[in-house]
Amino acid sequence: MLNARVTGTTALVDLAAIAHNTRLLAAHTRAQVLVVVKADGFGHGLVPVARAALANGATWLGVTSLAEAHAVREAGLTAPVLSWLHHPEDDFAPAIRAGIEVAAPSRDHLAGIAAAATRAGGPAAVHLKIDTGMARNGATPDDWPELVTFAAKLEEAGLIRVRGVWSHLAHADLPGPVNVASQLSRFTDAVAVARAAGLDPDLRHLANSAATFAHPDTHFDLVRAGIAVYGVEPVEGVSYGLVPAMTLRSEVIMVRRVPAGTGVSYRHDYVTDRPTTLALVPLGFADGVPRAAGPRASVLLGGVRRPIAGRITMDQFVVDAGDLPVRPGDEVVVFGPGTAGEPTVSDWAIWAGTNEHEILTGIGGRVPRRYRGTPAAASRVPRARRPPRQHGAGAPAVDPGGQR
Ligand SMILES: *Cc1c(COP(=O)(O)O)cnc(C)c1O
C-alpha cells in the first residue's frame, strides 16, 4: 500500500490486479498454473509479481534464464521454477543445487545438464521440449526419439530426472480448435514416444495464456501463463475480465502558450492550428514510450484525453493541451486500466503497430516501479527463507499436483 502520493514518473503496479488475474486463470483450469515472470515480470518486477501470483493460485514460476531463476531463489521464493532458454554450456550446476528445473530442447543441452549434475552431486530436474510446430525452440519430431532415448539413459545413470515434456503453441490466440489441433496431436504423440522410451514425466505442458482460456484440451498438468497475468486479454476479440496491472504516469514539467502555426518537436510534423497550450512530459522512447506511436497517441491530462504533439523524442514528449488550464505538476497518465478514460497498453500497442508485450517489457529502467494493492492473501505468504545451499537436486521443493 502506498503511504505517500505518487509523484514524478512512475510505473505503478497494482498487485491486486495480478492477484485477480492469477485467480481468474486458475479458475479456468484444473491444471497447475505456472506464472511466467521472464523479462522482469514483463516489466512489472519479477519478485513482487511472483509473490502475488503464488499467493493467489499459481504454484510454479517460469523464466527464460538461469539468472532470473536465481533471482527467484535469492528473493527467498522456494516455489518450483522452470528456466527454459539456455546455451548448452551454461553453468547448470548452481541451478541444480538451487532446485531450479531446466528445459532441454536438444541432445547438447542434455549433455551439458548431465555434466553439471555430476559437478552438482545430484540429478537435474529436466523438462524435455518438443517443437510441435512453432519452429523456434525444441527438438523436432524427427530428433525426438533420439532425445528421449538419451534422456532415459541419463535418468538411469542418476544424472537427470525427466519431470516434464512440453511445447509451445503458435496460434493459441485465435479461438477455435483448428488453431491448436496439429500441435496438440504432435504433442500427445511426443508424450507417447517419451513413455515408450521408459520416461514417466508427471508434468505435460503446452498451454500459454490464450490457451488457458480458449483451449482447455491443451492444459494437461500445467499451464504457462504470461501476458494474462499482467492483465492483457490474450484471445483475439474476447474479454475474460482481466485487469491491466500497470499504470504508467508522469507529470507535466513545463507549460507554454503558443500561437497557431507553431511547429512542434523534430521536423515540425505537428503544427498547431490555433492558439494552444503545450505541456512537456519527461518521458520518451528511452523509457519505452514508442516513438512510432506519436502520430496517433494521446494521454490523459487533467482527466482529459489530449493528443501528443509531434515526435516522441528520447526523453520527452509534448502534449497539445488545448485550452486546458494545465500547470507543472499536473498528472499525465500514459496508460492504465482504462477505467478513468486513460489509454490502455493495448491502445499503445495498436498505435505503435506492435503487441502489448513489447510495450510492457520496453518500459525502461529509468522508470521507478511502485506497488499498491498488496492482496490480503499475499501477506499470508510465510516470510521466505533462503533455500538450503545444497539439496538433492532431483527432489527440489516441489509438491507436484498438490495444490489442486
Ligand atoms: C513467454 C512464454 C509463455 C507465456 O506466454 P503468454 O502468451 O504470455 O501467456 C509461455 N511459454 C513460453 C515457452 C514462453 O516463452
Written as nine digits, the cell of 60 is: 510454479
Q: What is the pLDDT of residues 96-153, one digit of tens each?
A: 999 999 999 999 999 999 999 999 999 999 999 999 999 999 999 999 999 999 999 9
Q: Tell me what percent of the residues of the chain surpass a pLDDT of 70.
A: 91
Which one, of 247, 245, 218, lies nearest residue 233 by Cα?
A: 245
Share the mean pLDDT of the chain: 92
- Kindly compute the dihedral angle of the four CA atoms of residues 275, 277, 282, 283, in this order, to the nearest 10 degrees: -70
Note the pLDDT tens digit of each residue in 262-290: 999 999 999 999 999 999 999 999 999 99
For 13, the grid coordinates are 503496479
Catalytic residues: 38, 266
Q: Among the residues of 240-292, which ranges form H helices?
A: none
The CA distance from 106 to 268, in Å, is 53
Distance 37 CA to ligand 1 centre (A): 9
Name 160's bridge partners.
Answer: 124
Question: What average pLDDT does this structure show over 25-36?
Answer: 98
Mutate to test the pocket of ligand 1, among 130, 208, 213, 357 (most ligand atoms within 8 A of CB): 208
Length of the chain: 404
Q: What spacing in Å lies between the alpha carbon of 38 and ligand 1's midpoint? A: 9
**Can you read off the three cell numbers belonging to residue 29?**
483450469
Asked if 25 and 34 count as a contact pair (C-beta separation under 8 A), the reply is no
Q: 228: CA distance to ligand 1 center in Å?
A: 10
pLDDT at 77 over 90: yes
Residue at grid coordinates 554450456? 89
Question: Is residue 24 classed exposed, middle or buried when 0-12, 13-18 and 19+ CB atoms within 10 A define those classes?
Answer: buried
Does residue 276 line the site of ligand 1, with CB under 6 A? no
The strand pairing partners of 305, in sequence order, are: 300
pLDDT score of 379:
40
Cell triple for 94: 548452481
Q: Residue 347 and residue 308: Cα distance in Å, rounded?
A: 14
If one counts every other C-beta atom within 10 angstroms of the C-beta of residue 382, the result is 7
Q: Is 25 helix (H, G, I), strand (E, B) or coil?
A: helix
226 CB near ligand 1 (under 6 Å): yes
Q: Is the CB of 225 under 6 A from ligand 1?
A: yes
> How do strand 317-322 and strand 222-225 relate by DSSP bridges?
unpaired
Q: Please report, as a single letter, which amino acid is at residue 332.
A: V
Q: What is the reported pLDDT for 275?
A: 98
Per-residue model confidence (pLDDT) at position 7 = 72
- DSSP state letters, 50-104: HHHHHTTT--EEEESSHHHHHHHHHTT--S-EEE----TTS-HHHHHHTTEEEEE
Q: 133, 183 in Cβ contact below 8 A?
A: yes
Cα atoms found within 13 Å of the Cα of residue 170, Cβ hemisphere only = 11
* The ligand 1 atom nearest the CA atom of 42: 8
Look at ligand 1, atom 4, and give the residue with the nearest C-alpha: 226
Under 8 Å between Cβ of 251 and 8: yes
- Mean pLDDT is lowest, of 19-28, 233-242, 351-360, 387-396, for 387-396
Residues 6+ apart with CB under 8 A from 174: 235, 236
Q: Where are the alpha helices (DSSP H) in 157-278?
A: 178-196, 209-214
Ligand 1 centroid to 39 CA: how many Å? 11
Q: What is the largest CA-CA distance in the chain?
A: 79
The answer to whether 291 touches 311, Cβ cutoff 8 Å, is yes
Q: According to the model, what pLDDT value does residue 226 have?
A: 98
Is 19's C-beta closer than 6 angstroms to any atom of ligand 1? no
Counting ligand 1 atoms within 8 A of each CB, the residue from 34, 46, 168, 206 with the most, and so the one to mutate, is 168
In the structure, how many helices (H) and strands (E) does the chain have? Answer: 11, 19
Is the CB–ligand 1 distance for residue 147 below 6 Å? no
Q: Which amino acid is at 204?
A: R
User: Cβ(218) to ligand 1 under 6 A?
Assistant: no
Element housing 318 (H / E)? strand 317-322
The answer on pLDDT for 305 being more than 90 is yes
Contact 138, 85 (CB under 8 A): no
d(CA 278, CA 319): 6
Which of 181-185, 194-198, 389-393 has the least mean pLDDT?
A: 389-393
Our answer on whether the CB atom of 288 is closer than 6 Å to any ligand 1 atom is: no
Give pLDDT tens digits for 190-243.
Answer: 999 999 999 999 999 999 999 999 999 999 999 999 999 999 999 989 999 999
What is the mean predicted confidence (pLDDT) over 174-195?
A: 95
d(CA 154, ligand 1 centre) in Å: 28
Distance of CA 326 to CAs 233, 273, 294, Å?
A: 34, 19, 21
Atom of ligand 1 nearest to the CA of 38: 1
Is any ligand 1 atom within 6 A of the Cβ of residue 219? no
pLDDT at 175: 86
112 lines ligand 1 (CB under 6 A): no
Q: What is the mean pLDDT of residues 374-378?
A: 52
Neighbours of 114 (CB within 10 A): 23
**Residue-wise DSSP of 372-397:** E---GGGGGSPPPPPPPS---TTS-S
Report the DSSP pairing between strands 270-271 and 304-309: unpaired
pLDDT at 385 over 80: no
Distance 317 CA to ligand 1 centre (A): 32
Spatial contact of 269 and 311, defined as CB atoms under 8 Å apart: yes
Residue 397 has pLDDT above 80, yes or no: no
Of residues 89 and 175, more confidently modeled = 89
- Where is pLDDT greater, at 381 or 206? 206
Atom of ligand 1 lying closest to residue 173 CA:
7
Q: Give Cβ neighbours of residue 220 (< 8 Å, ≥ 6 apart).
A: 31, 203, 204, 205, 206, 207
